Structure 1
Amino acid sequence: MSAEPSLPHHRLPAAGVLELIRGEGGSETLDFLLGAERSRRLLLLRILDDITDLGPAWDLISRAQRHAPQVVEDLLMYPQTGMWLATVLRRLRGAAAVEEPPLSVVLGHAGALAASAGLRAGLDFAIDVPVWHGRVPLPTLGCAVLPVREPWGTATVRAQDGRAVLEVPGATVAVPFPPGSSGPHWHPVRRVVVGPEGRRLDIALDDSDPYRTYPPPTEPQPLSDEAAALWREFLGRAWAVLLDEQPATADAMRRSWLSLTPTAARERFRPRSVTSGDAFGGIEASEPDDATQLAVTLVHEFQHTKLGGLLHLTPLLTRDTSASPQLWYAPWRDDPRPLDGLLQGIYAFMGITAFWRTHRAAAAEGDALAHFEFALWRIHVTTAMEQIHRHPRFTPLGAALLEALRERAAQWQSEPVPEDCLALARLCAQDRLARWRAHHWQPPAPAVDDAVRAWLDGADTPPSSLAAEPGTVPDPSARWLDSLSVLARYRLAGTDDDGTPPDAAEKTAARVAGALTADALLAAGDATAARDAYVSHLATDACPAGAWAGLGRALAMAGTDTAAARLLCHHPERARAVHQALLRTTGTAPDPIHLGTWLGSTEQ
């Protein structure tokens, strides 16, 4: 009996593998990843069709495929289609954590996709589609606004002789044509085209597709004309930066970025962006501070997109079979991360480091912020990688990827950075790590009890048991661990206040969520004032965990109380745990420098 023929597989060429494991990836490699993603989408669509009866939606998509195959191809590869397929299959398996919208609405999105295919193919048809809080989204086209009060419902799309309408009882909205046209009660999906001919970025500015946000779907939220114009301006300038400074990356990007979902601006120097492996080619991003920040965001999420495409072809880690997954320090996150999440971050922030390396050469002479960013992210990615080097869960390809990234980062270490920028980057990197430890590391409880007794008994040194390996216990209160870095960016960008008297420091800190007055003083280099302010912060009942790390850094900068400085810079979790235990036991908080000196008396 002859063996059944095996199905063809996508096999990434060796040159493409080498590009991707170095954090790179040219246009040919991205074309290959897109081809593999197409196959994945077709498989998911086939699985969905096997599980459910898509009925009229399937029939209409099939008709559109026969009449205008490129239309269906575009819809299939649209990022939001991939997100919808993954979402609906998870819901059908009962694996979704969020139960809204109703499953019928999620399944009904097939009708919306079919309607878009039919409209773009110029077919006559009628099909029901979901209504989301009075809005009816049609993928890649836009959304209609209907006078519907119920949160979920159904509308009918009718197309005949080149005209189309959306209907609910008592209301009709015309669907304008061609795509991108505006009309009464209709918001089109805008397209943004920037860059010179042959090097253009052509991307949908999608504010209406429910599956444009990752991971939970959200109702359409159309942009104003003014907001859309601002995004066009930002994208145009950001794209010019990338074409000038990273042309190979830009060339690969323009083949891959298919849609951008704009969200509201956030605090300065703290943008938010998201991609999903299920939505290859899509990005969700907050309104940027400036074009450079948006260029960084595009690079950041492009890294995630490439790695996501690679992971759809081959694993980089073996399955974690442990009952309690090990958690790690990720310098770009406030929370401890599992190994796969840390690897994603390393890959993304290697791209950010590479961006700043190039940008500082192209920026205006004396651009201290660019030098600072390069130095800071160079430290952060190296710190992250050294934690997991030679981890046993890496597959051979995963190990090769991490080794290639480590070698690349090692080459960057010898590149000179102005001493003041380098010193500030080291300060911020060390401070963030110490704050993370203060929040998420916990010494053994018996050792803390021993230390409390020793302190109360007047012992000269703390018990040796306190030096035991701490446990990682995620602290949900950990937020804004990057406050010192943000304060440093204000200073380097030339927007910090002159001088560091207390009132100026308070004003500076007030601009940065999570920042203390002492943090502003430390960022300004006033170690003595920062030390006094940290002591004041720690004298309160609700003393912030990060203040222990800040106090250690201020003491080290001032060159005083070296035992306390050493302990608080490297093991702030010990001081925090013993301090809290003493406060619970005696009702009185010990002097933090005195406590740090005692705890650090045995540290070398």
Structure 2
Amino acid sequence: MTGEPRPAVFRMPERLFAELAAGGGAVEAVSFLARAERARRLLLLRTLLDRLAGVPTPLAAPAEAWSVLKEAAERVPEAVEGLLAAPATGGWIAHMLRRLHGTATGPPLWAEAGHLNLLALTATLHAGLETTLEVPLTDGTVYLPALGQARLPQAEPGLTVALAATTSRGELTLSAQRRDGSPTTMTCRPATTPATAPATTRPVPPTGPPTPSASASVGPCAPSASGSPGSSAPPESGSLDPPAPSASGCLRSSVSPASGSVGPPSVPSASGSPAPSASGSPGPSVPPGPGSLAPSDEPSDAAGPVTTTDASLRPAPTAASPPARPAPPERAPTDARRVSSATAATPSAVRPVTPARGATSPTPGPPSPGPGRVPEPHTPGPAAPAGDADGPSWLPLRTLTHTTPAGPVAIPLDDLGPYRDLDDPVPPARLHAGEAAEWQRVFDGAVAILAGAGGGQGPGRLDPALIRAVVPYGRTAPTPPAPPSVAVSASSGDSFGAMLISRPASALALAETLVHEFQHSKLAALLHLFPLLDDDREERYYAPWRADPRHLTGLLHGAYAFTGVAGFWRDRFEEPEHAEAAAYHFALRRLQSRLVVRTLLTSARLTPPGRRLVEGLARTLDGWLRVPVDPAALTRARTAAALHRTQWRLRNVAVPPGPDGTLRFRPDRGFWPDPRTHAFATRPVAPRTPDEHLAAGDPATALAGYAGGLARDPADPHALSGWIVARAALDPGHLTRRPLARPELLQPQPSG
């Protein structure tokens, strides 16, 4: 660790950029993006620490917490690197910068700033250091990043302050005073646990997140403020000192050769302006899933920590009393914004859109097993039954585990962390043990499916070890049964490698979603390095997987994600159980993605790196358009694509167009479901509805059914879009092509 700031220049080798531009990217390319994200995050963190310096707080000052964290990093650099690289840490930093910039809300600022104290506390547990820090409590609970949640028994409700102390044995003691002056204390040895751990299983110590370490090409530094050139490499993993920004306050980056040299668009300057998420503007708001910490939901987590409500029975390691609690101020309402990176890949809902793990063994402890590995578990001390009327005293962070040639990998299944939601802080939503086991079951199936494609760097291929966190959305219990498809998924440029997902019953659907969301993470990291397009943020473009118009950045995200999805389905061609659906989805997504790529090439103001990226996607998709596909599946795919575009225009586009010929949009437009995209995946055996007859290749019967629907409601966009497409299938001539091109001309418009 050094005290001298150094300029950091990232020069991406041409071959890595070409891999990513094609929609793929091997481990080395993803490793380069991860290194760049690390440097960006340290820049943002330095900005945040500077801005927090004058914030009044009853806790230890941010500078003190940072010093504690740096001391831990000297002993266990990989564990602390994992904490800082965790997606939730990126989400916290971005949220705090938005708060300081006045564009986000949340609990009192000092309480959210106290997350740095919790990061430092977790780091000392990994390092086996003894320290004492004040930490914020919310209703008696505190979340230790990447480890789990501790609950102080019989603590005061609301926002209070506790004293947290760690020992060289990896133990944590929390102590506080109640309003009547009596103390309350708990001691535990924090550790994570596998999602399927039975009640008698001891928690497995955590490890760091998988961070590929392939080397990256580093080029010479651009001229400094003085005009003299310099050279430097990205900061080494052992250094937590943020890299020095360039004269403009930006992290410099380029693609070799030098003709591709650009600077990143969204690293904040020293003024502290927050970087907007690369995923685009806030999308449809989705409320956080319900959750509680009822003891009855935790049969496997009830044993482990040592607890006591009497400080005289088990005193804290320090005699210092916790500071006086501030009067708990009213909690400000949180903002419901969600970055909607991935959208509408399923018919039932919008698809809008831990952390690090490190061993809690005493110092010096065993050598680190390496990124992503699960070390041999340490032996916890004597454990007494935990929990009281308030709920379990320790809730471990669960992990999804799978085995790789390099060893076991544990990916956080984060249902506890306040910044897991990829946006503003949310309360815990603890999964029932049965639901956690279902997650592991479906994840095992998804991993097996992804492994079936073999190695390689092509679009649609993903090493699950690259995923840094999975955040369950919506459901917390195994009943009622989960739907077969993913209803909601999300990702954020602030939380590289994390993905929020509503669990499906189908491993195939989960595997597709993992690919989809990781594509968003890769593109978000590229957008942090290169300005790819000049976006005016006007939402006026057609996206074949959305119900609403999109801006150019959202369009680019969709094209990149669904190019990966098309590649995923191409790899399923040879799997008999998936062959029919794979042919359809591959044909559909290659067609839709190529349409969007054409829009980007003709309508977008692309920068040189952006044009190279989009042209790389075009080459991939053009090659795939020449791949033979089962004729029946190809017909259904083309029909489904025509139905979506037709209905989109009927529901969104107003007539007449603007004076300059640009689209005008209906004032009554809104979200609409799209069941057809997935309904057309297989040929119906016994069709009953007009849609099913059309999917079965019987447009005449479908046309009659749609006509009947229009007789009942002439303005029904679903029936009208079906009637237009079925009529064109029966008579593919000039008279039917015009309604396909501009179906809104046939749609009754709202009065006024």
TM-score (norm. length: structure 1): 0.80
Residues 300 and 352, structure 1, Cα contact 8 Å, conserved in 2: yes
Give the aligned partner of residue 478 of structure 1: 671
Distance across 2 between alignment mates of 1:46 and 1:173: 34
Structure 1 counterpart of 2:473, one-letter code: T
Change in 2 beyond 3 A, CA 1:543/1:168:
farther
Asked whether the equivalents of residues 531 and 551 of structure 1 are also in contact (C-alpha less than 8 Å), the reply is yes
Alpha-carbon distance, 1:6 to partner = 8.3
Could you say which residue in structure 1 is the equivalent of 2:287? none
12 and 542 in structure 1: CA distance in 2 versus 1, 3 angstrom threshold: same
**Could you say what secondary structure the match of 1:245 adopts?**
coil
Task: Determine the structure 1 residue equivalent to 2:124.
Answer: 118
Shift of 1:441: 1.0
Paired position in structure 2 for 1:174: 187
Which residue of structure 1 aligns with residue 612 of structure 2?
400
Which letter does structure 2 place at the counterpart of 1:544?
D
Partner of residue 549 from structure 1, selected from 716, 721, 726: 721
Residue deviations 1:363-398, cap 9 Å, x none? 117821111111111111011111221445100111
The corresponding residue for 1:261 is 471
Alpha-carbon separation, structure 2, partners of 1:92 and 1:193: 38
| Per-residue CA distance 1:5-30 (angstroms, 9 max, x = gap) | 98231111122111111112111122
- Alignment partners' CA distance in 2, 1:9 and 1:206: 33
Classify the secondary structure of the residue corresponding to 1:375: helix
Instruction: Please tell me whether the aligned partners of residues 191 and 202 of structure 1 are also in contact (alpha carbons under 8 angstroms).
Output: yes
Match of 2:82 among 71, 74, 84: 74
- Is 1:247 paired with 2:455? yes
2:135 to 106, 129, 140: 129
* Structure 1 segment 186-201 matched on structure 2, within 5 A: 186-198=394-406, 201=409
Cα deviation per residue 1:189-244 (whole Å; 9 max; x = unaligned)? 12232133327543122211111112232112222222222222222221122222
* Counterpart-to-counterpart distance in 1, 2:409 and 2:614: 31
The answer for the alignment partner of 1:47 in structure 2 is: 47
Deviation at 1:294, TM superposition (A): 1.5
Change (3 A) 1:149 1:387: farther
- 1:236 pairs with 2:444: yes
Confirm whether residue 65 of structure 1 aligns to residue 69 of structure 2.
no
Is 1:572 equivalent to 2:743 in the alignment?
yes
Say which SS state the counterpart of residue 289 (structure 1) adopts: coil
| Contact 2:655–2:664 (8 Å) recurs in 1 | yes
Specify whether residues 335 and 174 from structure 1 end up closer, same or farther in structure 2 by C-alpha distance, changes over 3 A only.
farther
Give the unaligned 5+ runs of structure 1: 447-464, 506-517, 585-604
Q: Give distance in 1, aligned partners of 2:661 and 2:549.
A: 20
Cα deviation, 1:278-313, whole Å, max 9, x if unaligned, reads 111212112123222221111111211111111111
Residues 27 and 536 of structure 1: is their aligned pair in 2 closer, same or farther, counting only changes over 3 Å?
same
Aligned partner of 1:301 among 510, 513, 517: 517
**Aligned residue pair count:** 530
Task: From 165, 171, 180, give the equivalent of 1:158.
Answer: 165
Please list, as runs of the form range in 1=range in 2, the aligned pairs for 1:100-119 lying within 5 A after superposition: 100-119=106-125
SS at match of 2:9: coil
What's the CA shift for 1:179? Answer: 4.4
| 1:425-455 Cα shifts (integer Å, max 9, x gaps) | 0110000011111111111289xxxxxxxxx
Q: State the Cα deviation string for residues 335-355 of structure 1 (Å, max 9, x = none).
A: 111001100111111111011
Give how far 1:149 is off.
Answer: 7.3
- Aligned-partner SS, 1:333: coil
User: C-alpha distance in 2, partners of 1:117/1:251?
Assistant: 34
CA gap of 1:563–1:35, structure 2 versus 1, over 3 A, is closer
Q: Name the counterpart of 2:148.
A: 142
Mapped partners of 2:462, 2:615: distance in 1: 24
Residue 123 of structure 1 and its aligned partner are, at CA, apart by: 2.0
User: How many angstroms apart in 2 are the aligned matches of 1:110 and 1:288?
Assistant: 35
Instruction: Indicate conservation of the 8 Å contact 1:234/1:294, yes or no.
Output: yes
1:132: how far off? 4.1
CA contact (8 A) 1:83 1:278 kept: yes
Identity percentage of aligned residues: 34
Q: 1:113 to 1:334 in 2, by over 3 A?
A: same
1:237-267 CA-partner distances (Å, limit 9, x unpaired) = 2112222204235997455322111224675
User: Is the Cα contact below 8 Å between 1:303 and 1:348 reproduced in 2?
Assistant: yes
Residue of structure 1 equivalent to 2:33: 33
| Aligned position for 1:449 | none
State the partner residue of 2:422. 214
Query: How far does residue 524 in structure 1 lie from its aligned partner after superposition?
Result: 4.4
| Residue in 2 that maps onto 1:602 | none
| CA distance in 2: counterparts of 1:407 and 1:45, whole angstroms | 39
Q: What is the deviation of 1:175?
A: 2.9
Note if 1:428 corresponds to 2:435: no
1:469 to 1:118, Cα distance in 2 relative to 1, 3 A = closer
Greater share of helix residues, 1 or 2? 1
SS where residue 412 of structure 2 aligns?
Answer: strand
Letter in 2 for 1:158: A
Q: Secondary structure at the match of 1:351?
A: helix
Residue 319 of structure 1, CA deviation:
5.2
SS at 1:192 equivalent: strand
Q: Is the 8 A contact 1:434 1:569 kept in 2?
A: yes
Alignment correspondent of 1:19? 19
The Cα shift of 1:93 comes to: 0.8
Range with bigger deviation, 5-14 or 224-233: 5-14
Q: Is 1:8 the equivalent of 2:8?
A: yes
In structure 2, the residue matched to 1:499 is 686
- Match status 1:375 vs 2:587: yes
> Counterpart of 2:703?
531
| Aligned residue identity for 1:550 | G
CA distance in 2, matches of 1:62, 1:365: 52
- For residues 418 and 251 of structure 1, what CA distance do their matches in structure 2 show? 23
The change in CA–CA distance for 1:30 and 1:468 in structure 2 (over 3 A counts) is closer
Q: 1:370 to 1:68 in 2, by over 3 A?
A: same
Q: Does the CA-based 8 Å contact 1:23-1:405 persist in structure 2?
A: yes
Residues 316 and 394, structure 1, Cα contact 8 Å, conserved in 2: yes
Deviations 1:129-179 (A, max 9, x none): 333455421100011245567454444322235331334445444333444
Q: Cα distance, 1:333 vs. partner?
A: 1.3
Opposite residue 574 of structure 1, the aligned amino acid is L
Aligned to 1:223: 431
How far, CA to CA, are the matches of 2:721 and 2:156 in structure 1?
52
Give the CA deviation at 1:330: 0.9
Is 1:487 equivalent to 2:679 in the alignment? yes
Q: Deviations over 1:466-492 (max 9, x none)?
A: x96642457542321x32122223x45
Query: Partner letter of residue 42 of structure 1?
Result: L
Q: What is the CA–CA distance in structure 1 between the aligned matches of 2:167 and 2:551, rounded to whole Å?
A: 53
Partner secondary structure for residue 126 of structure 1:
strand
Q: Aligned to 2:404, what secondary structure does the other structure show?
A: coil
Measured after TM superposition, the shift of residue 533 of structure 1 is 4.0
3-state SS of paired residue (2:747):
helix
1: CA distance, partners of 2:651 / 2:610: 30
Residue 332 in structure 1 maps to residue 503 in structure 2? no
What per-residue deviation string (whole Å, max 9, x for no partner) do you get for residues 66-88 of structure 1? 33322221111111111111110
Q: Are 1:278 and 2:450 matched, yes or no?
A: no
Whole-Å Cα distance in 1 between the matches of residues 669 and 395 of structure 2?
40
Preserved CA contact (<8 Å) 1:82 1:278:
yes
Q: Deviations over 1:34-64 (max 9, x none)?
A: 1111111111111111111314422321332
